[in-house]
Structure 1
């Protein structure tokens, strides 16, 4: 439980103040613990960033899995559908979790820190599920969702809720063909 609170505090510092402000002291202060208490769980800033990266990857994997579970067996293009739905949940959900991702990705700019995220991207985008009726379209749809995520991360007001919903429906519709 304490690790989660420390990660929450680190994400808050990142999203509110940017990567330059992410220091162990700032995170400890935000979490209301001593620096030693933080160091007990995360001995370095790099360890803290690694844990934040791992957490957002796990959360996205869990979202994909929850959508896959909700579909049941035999849904054509289930993985890509789940990927799109999970992406839009992050983009449009109340938490607006894409801001967390943007901040954490920026904090993990070092190649070693970014490798777990790169590996997750290879896994999410490199697979060609057997249930995709058209693997090429599925790949384009996943890449379009990823590109939209990047654009919205940089300019959150560019698309309103109606536009995002229309884009979600359009991407899912492409999988029907």
Structure 2
């Protein structure tokens, strides 16, 4: 029983933290980044040629928080170490899903043509279909509502949105 718990408790902490982080990231994206933290996040919604953007400071803050939990967890309170693993794992998911897949911040281009990855890709494209910080949809990074629901929400908004948001240089990505 002790062996089971020694694996079960860390697994539950890591998986639970990843799930919580998706909720927290979506909440903070909507209420902080599109609220009082817009000064940093605005760089993400504007065209730029730089490799880094001011918005990347949010990832640095989350990383510092994880490092602090690793330190506290290894010195005093071991469950915090596993929570830090979950936050770090979410950071890796965020990097691949958001920075890599959606915004193509890696050295090759991949546009998903079907399934879950296509849904995440389209949802975040629709997030950027509104100019400015108000009226956006889809604030999560790993979970995404289907594109048709998000388009309906955008159409119900009073702000204009760009209906070409789902289009890409590779038109087949959105037509399949």
TM-score w.r.t. length of structure 2: 0.29
TM-score w.r.t. length of structure 1: 0.29
